Amino acid sequence: MTDTYSAFDNRWFYTLVVVGIFLNATGLFPPVMELDGALYATIAKTMAQSGDFVNLYAVGTDWLDKPHFPFWIAALSYRIFGINTFAYKFPALLFFLGSVIYTYQFARLTYSKIVAQVATLVLLTAFHGVLSNSDVRAEPYLMPLIIGAVYHFYRVFLDDRRYVLHLILGSFLTGCALMTKGCFVLIPIGAGLIFHWLLTGHWRELLKPRWYVAVALSFAFTLPEIYCLYQQFDLHPEKILFGKTGVSGIRFFFWDSQFGRFFNTGPIKGEGDKFFFVHTLLWAFLPWSLPLYVGIGKAVIGVFKRQNPLPEYVSLGSGLATFALFSLSSFQLPHYLNIVFPFYAVLTAQFLVNLTPIALRRWTIGQTIIGVLISVLTIGLLFLVQPNQVISAISWVVVITFATFVIFRSANLLSLTGRMVGAMLVLACSLNLFLYPTFLNYQAGMTAAFYANEQSVKRPTILYEPGSGVGGGSFWSYEFYANAPTYYARTDSTLRLQIQKGRKQLFTTAEEAESLSKRGFTVRTQAVFPYFHVTQLTYDFLNPATRSRTLQPYVLADVNE
């Protein structure tokens, strides 16, 4: 079926895009979240303060898990804006918006303008994409690098007159993606192209030298990463990592970091559920998950029936291959699929645009019900949590919901899309401007750091976290937000060395502080700070009446022998 609908009026399209950008930008306001976001922020902070862009350190020691690229970008941002929440999140938001631009441009290569417009708005409002601009990890960086590489390589395939430039740009973005997440990024970049070639009879593309040049160039662009890993780890086999010596950073980058997780043979292991992403995508891609699933189903059926339902199969191939890879992996987290959201947005858009007028009215009703449920659930959550300015928050939800239905009254594609933008504006602003500021008060490390920063004398702090490995808890947010230096103590002997010249300031759990007192240390508590792991919310925590029993106390104290 050909596209049924004409493009949105530019004024409506750009207005909705601005709203979409705004609702994502609200993620700049909440503080950096524990655990991973705070860890990555502190790694980049160490890099920016030391000027050492080669070695990665966490918890005061060598760190080997993720490649360098996002830390380089964040550290450069710190150098420009200072070390703060905005400086950590802002470049990630810019990269995410780059993925939105590339998604539009990629869709325009083979689809109509209306498909590109709808895909743009779908990507701007997919829930976990919005969430990742508040809880920043590697995914906002990966999204434009992957869809951008595919866009440029597809231009090469189309024999664009500037195909050499596109080959270089695609290889450069692929190299940056490799330096962000490792070798598995070749799957979402390459699988869709190969899938398209095979289904459209262009299998001879696999024999053309230019693609092998692209592979070689991509790995050439990763040489800065290889150099850094070699300098920090391969030149120093005496370093102890993952409990053993002789660990190769280069081997970890090419194998253990990603494929070791997939086969569960690397130093970092997990337990996979083959259906994890089936149900995860239902909420992660809200409010667009149902048209996505139906659209993919129709496309797959069309492929098996050889009906050629799509003008391009890159989106389907990249989306399905990456989904299958992660589903079969032994290490799974909800945000992993964000990197193929641009492809999912294109698939969703082409499905919606090709609906008959009768089917579109039905989908508009169904999607409107989802949008109303989002607003109702948001109001319910606000009533339950009782954040500061709860009346203002509920008023915001009611006003935006009402205005959305007043503006978008018709049962057409613009109204369907506009209502979903309105629903996500309600949800994003409620989360980022009202709910997360309440939740993040229970990041004990952050609140303790703010307390310490307000003291007239800025004192270094010992972060006492017994054990080995990277650790966790609320120490990373303290390290990031503290203005004075921080030092880790993982053993009693290390702590004694640090306090041998006199009393020091210490941050740890109340349980560990009490244990230190029993082992002969003198611990005098300055203040107590409640802690909850805010990225794993529970009903008992959300409810103010039961919240106290979910909290773990941390203390800022003075310690000496």
For 284, counting Cβ atoms within 10 Å of its Cβ (0-12 exposed, 13-18 middle, 19+ buried), the class is: buried
State the pLDDT confidence band at 535, using cuts at 50, 70 and 90. confident
Lowest average pLDDT, out of 185-194, 215-224, 267-276, 305-314, goes to 267-276
User: How many CA within 13 A on the CB side of residue 298?
Assistant: 15
pLDDT averaged over every residue in the chain:
91
Lowest average pLDDT, out of 50-54, 57-61, 169-173, goes to 57-61
User: How many CA within 13 A on the CB side of residue 81?
Assistant: 16
- Strand intervals (E) in 504-545: 504-509, 522-531
The string of pLDDT tens digits covering residues 107-117 is: 999 999 999 99
Is residue 453 within 8 Å of residue 489, measured between CB atoms? no
Residue ranges of the domains in the chain?
Answer: 64-353, 372-441, 444-560
Q: What is the largest CA-CA distance in the chain?
A: 79
Topology adopted by domain 444-560: D-Maltodextrin-Binding Protein; domain 2 (3.40.190)
Helices 36-50 and 85-110: crossing angle in degrees, nearest 10, is: 110
pLDDT at 268: 58
pLDDT at 5: 74
* Range 164-170, long-range pairs (CB < 8 A, 24+ positions): 167/210, 167/213, 167/214, 167/217, 168/217, 170/214
pLDDT at 161: 82
Please determine, for residue 226, whether its predicted confidence score (pLDDT) is greater than 60. Answer: yes
pLDDT at 557: 95
State the pLDDT confidence band at 275, using cuts at 50, 70 and 90. confident
pLDDT at 221: 97
- Give the list of residues 6+ apart from residue 41 with CB closer than 8 angstroms, or none: 32, 74, 88, 476, 480
pLDDT at 2: 52
Q: How many CB atoms lie within 10 A of CB 485?
A: 11
The string of pLDDT tens digits covering residues 162-193 is: 889 999 999 999 999 999 998 889 999 999 99
Write b or e for each residue in 335-365: b if 16 or more Cβ atoms lie within 10 A of its Cβ, otherwise e.
bbbbbbbbbbbbbbbbbbbbbeeeebeebbe
State the pLDDT confidence band at 257, using cuts at 50, 70 and 90. confident
State the pLDDT confidence band at 262, using cuts at 50, 70 and 90. low
Helices (H) and strands (E) in the chain, counts: 26, 7
For 412, counting Cβ atoms within 10 Å of its Cβ (0-12 exposed, 13-18 middle, 19+ buried), the class is: middle
Please determine, for residue 1, whether its predicted confidence score (pLDDT) is greater than 50. Answer: no
Strands 552-560 and 57-58: unpaired
Output the CA angle 352-355-358, nearest 5 degrees: 125
Please determine, for residue 382, whether its predicted confidence score (pLDDT) is greater than 80. Answer: yes
Instruction: Tell me which residue has tokens 């139906």.
Output: 294
- What's the whole-number mean pLDDT along residues 180-207? 93
Lowest average pLDDT, out of 185-194, 261-270, 281-290, goes to 261-270
DSSP state string for 133-170: TTS-SSHHHHHHHHHHHHHHHHHHHTT-TTHHHHHHHH
Lowest average pLDDT, out of 190-204, 322-336, 503-517, goes to 322-336
DSSP state string for 435-461: IHHHHGGG-HHHHHHHHHHTSSS---E
Q: Give the global pTM.
A: 0.94
- What's the whole-number mean pLDDT along residues 385-396? 92
Please determine, for residue 267, whether its predicted confidence score (pLDDT) is greater than 60. Answer: no
Q: Which residue in 185, 208, 120 sits closest to 326, CA to CA?
A: 185
State the pLDDT confidence band at 265, using cuts at 50, 70 and 90. low
- What's the whole-number mean pLDDT along residues 224-228? 96
pLDDT at 256: 77
Return d(Cα 257, Cα 490) in angstroms, integer.
25
Return d(Cα 254, Cα 268) in angstroms, integer.
14
Is residue 159 within 8 Å of residue 202, measured between CB atoms? no
Return d(Cα 346, Cα 363) in angstroms, integer.
17
pLDDT at 274: 74
The string of pLDDT tens digits covering residues 450-503 is: 999 998 888 999 999 998 777 778 999 999 999 999 999 999 999 999 998 889
Please name the amino acid found at residue 186: L
Please determine, for residue 229, whether its predicted confidence score (pLDDT) is greater than 70. Answer: yes
For 212, counting Cβ atoms within 10 Å of its Cβ (0-12 exposed, 13-18 middle, 19+ buried), the class is: exposed
Q: Which residue in 177, 124, 192 sits closest to 345, CA to CA?
A: 124
- What's the whole-number mean pLDDT along residues 121-133? 96
Return d(Cα 126, Cα 345) in angstroms, integer.
8
pLDDT at 3: 65
Q: Does 160 or 266 have the greater pLDDT score?
A: 160
Return d(Cα 248, Cα 245) in angstroms, integer.
9
Output the CA angle 21-25-26, nearest 5 degrees: 125
Q: Report the chain's C-alpha Rg in angstroms.
A: 25
Is residue 468 within 8 Å of residue 243, measured between CB atoms? yes
- What's the whole-number mean pLDDT along residues 288-314? 90
pLDDT at 273: 65
